[in-house]
């Protein structure tokens, strides 16, 4: 199966049965570049937020992960100010069995349960470990400022 065929199948799956609080589709009709949207989970610091991500696929997809980054600023120990995401399945634990839908669900899980022991932003990870209440307040502040429509 070609990369384009695989991406078309995943695009159809995303349109027919998107993961909870997620959506994704081609950007400018380019099958190799998608925009994804994640809605912040209820009762979390990102509730009410709409977070946009950019996904770029190479000709090696699905054998290599897509390049995935947040466009919307977010306060999170595993996501830096450039939107780069520290998530194992975007690196060494990628598998061709994974799909865009599964990737977005993993990012949702990371948003709800940060991994402060493998931070991309150590200062935010320290805050998460030492003062979760203040971390939540800062995350809510960012969400209100950058992620509300």
pLDDT digits (tens, 9 = 90+) for 1-19: 799 999 999 999 999 999 9
Q: Is 86 a catalytic residue?
A: yes
**Mean pLDDT confidence for 101-115:** 96
Number of domains in the chain: 1
Write out pLDDT tens, residues 59-98.
999 999 999 999 999 999 999 999 999 999 999 999 999 9
Residue 114 pLDDT greater than 80, yes or no: yes
Q: Residue 44 and residue 108: Cα distance in Å, rounded?
A: 11
The confidence score (pLDDT) of residue 149 equals 72
- Which residues form the domain of 109? 3-146
Please choose, from the candidates 100, 102, 101, 65, the residue with its C-alpha nearest in 3D space to the C-alpha of residue 86.
Answer: 65
Q: Residue 23 and residue 35: Cα distance in Å, rounded?
A: 8
pTM of the model: 0.94
- Tokens for 63, please give them: 């054998």
**Mean pLDDT confidence for 114-143:** 97
Tell me which of 22, 26, 68, 86 is the catalytic residue.
Answer: 86
CA-CA-CA-CA torsion for 115, 137, 18, 37, nearest 10 degrees?
A: -100
Residue 37 — pLDDT band, cuts 50, 70, 90?
A: very high
The confidence score (pLDDT) of residue 148 equals 87
Question: How many CB atoms sit inside 10 A of residue 116's CB?
Answer: 18
CATH of the domain at 92: 3.10.110.10
């Amino acid at each position: 199966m070609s990369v384009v065929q695989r991406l078309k199948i995943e695009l159809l799956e995303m349109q027919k049965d998107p993961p909870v609080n997620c959506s994704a589709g081609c950007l400018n009709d380019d099958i190799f570049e998608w925009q994804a949207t994640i809605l912040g989970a209820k009762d979390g610091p990102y509730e009410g937020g709409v977070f946009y991500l950019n996904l770029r696929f190479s000709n090696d997809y699905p054998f290599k992960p897509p390049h995935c980054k947040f466009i919307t600023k977010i306060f999170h120990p595993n996501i830096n100010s450039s939107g780069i995401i520290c998530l194992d399945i975007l690196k060494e634990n990628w598998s061709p069995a994974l799909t865009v839908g599964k990737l977005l669900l993993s990012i949702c899980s990371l948003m709800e349960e940060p991994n402060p022991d493998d931070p991309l932003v150590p200062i935010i990870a320290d805050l998460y470990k030492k003062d979760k209440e203040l971390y939540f307040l800062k995350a809510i502040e960012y969400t209100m400022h950058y992620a509300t429509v």
